[in-house]
Amino acid sequence: MSDKKKDCIIVLSGGMDSVTLMHEYKERIALAVTFDYGSNHNTREIECARRQCALLGIRHLVIPLKFMAEYFRSSLLDGAEAIPEGNYDDDNMKSTVVPFRNGIMLSVACGLAESNDLQYVLIANHGGDHTIYPDCRPGFVDAMGEAMRQGTFNGVQILAPYTLITKGDIARRGAEMGVDYSLTYSCYKGGKRHCGKCGTCMERREAFADAGIEDPTDYED
């Protein structure tokens, strides 16, 4: 597909979900954007995002949002020792919520889309996020999408095709497309190796098990 027919920008973290989405929509993606907002795992994620974009030949931007780490409250911004260990559930993961993170990132991505004459912003929120993160829920995605459409001359829209499926479903799709998940990063502690104990590591393990595919992740434990 020529660049003239590419109509999407993707919000790319470098984790399993957004990398899978990028591979699935690679023929339509003109631009990927990763946000450096000062999280514990940003450095590892950005490295993976860059490598994945290089593999697919997709232009990649890294945009700093350092004000979030300075002014927002979240254990995800406070160092590895602040990250809770255990299951990926509401009670355990609530401290990791970065307030309105997706709203801020989608707003910037929307401006980039309009500036580059692109029609859609891709985001890889999924069903397992709903109870934990308010800005991953269907109601938020619908409302934010309408705000973006109303607020742009070209009517930019959100594409969020994973909203109602599980991370296991996403892993299964990725495996079918040949995604190399060893070149993705999930651990909220941000170490060189995945810790294997925090909620996002546990969720990652469970996704591969649910999908019935080999987990290529290098865990400390």
Look at residue 199 in the predicted model and tell me its pLDDT.
Answer: 87
Q: Give the three-class secondary structure for 138.
A: helix
What the block records as the tokens of 5 is 């027919």
Secondary structure class of 216 (helix, strand, coil): coil
Q: Residues of the chain with pLDDT > 70: what percent?
A: 94
pTM metric for this prediction: 0.94
Q: Where are the beta strands (DSSP E) in the chain?
A: 8-11, 29-36, 59-64, 120-122, 157-159
* Stretch among 66-75, 141-150, 208-217 having the lowest mean pLDDT: 66-75
Strand extents, DSSP E, 12-170: 29-36, 59-64, 120-122, 157-159
Structure tokens at 201: 């590591």
Confidence of residue 5 (pLDDT cuts 50, 70, 90): confident
Closest CA to 16 of 177, 173, 181: 181
Q: Is residue 13's pLDDT more than 90?
A: yes
Rounded to whole angstroms, how far apart are CA atoms 14 and 48? 5
Q: Could you tell me the domains of the chain?
A: 3-211 (3.40.50.620)
Confidence of residue 210 (pLDDT cuts 50, 70, 90): very high
Cβ proximity of 127 and 163 under 8 Å:
yes
Question: What are 19-40's pLDDT values in tens digits?
Answer: 999 999 999 999 999 999 999 8
pLDDT of 64 strictly over 90: yes
Distance from C-alpha of 130 to C-alpha of 126, rounded to nearest angstrom: 7
β-bridge mates for residue 122, sequence order: 10, 159
> What does residue 99 show for φ and ψ, rounded to 5 degrees?
-55, 125
DSSP string, 87-108: -SSHHHHGGG--TTHHHHHHHH
DSSP SS3 for 180: coil
pLDDT digits (tens, 9 = 90+) for 70-111: 999 988 888 777 787 866 555 667 788 899 999 999 999 999
Question: What is the per-residue pLDDT across 186-203, written as a single tens digit (0 to 9) for each?
Answer: 999 999 999 999 989 999
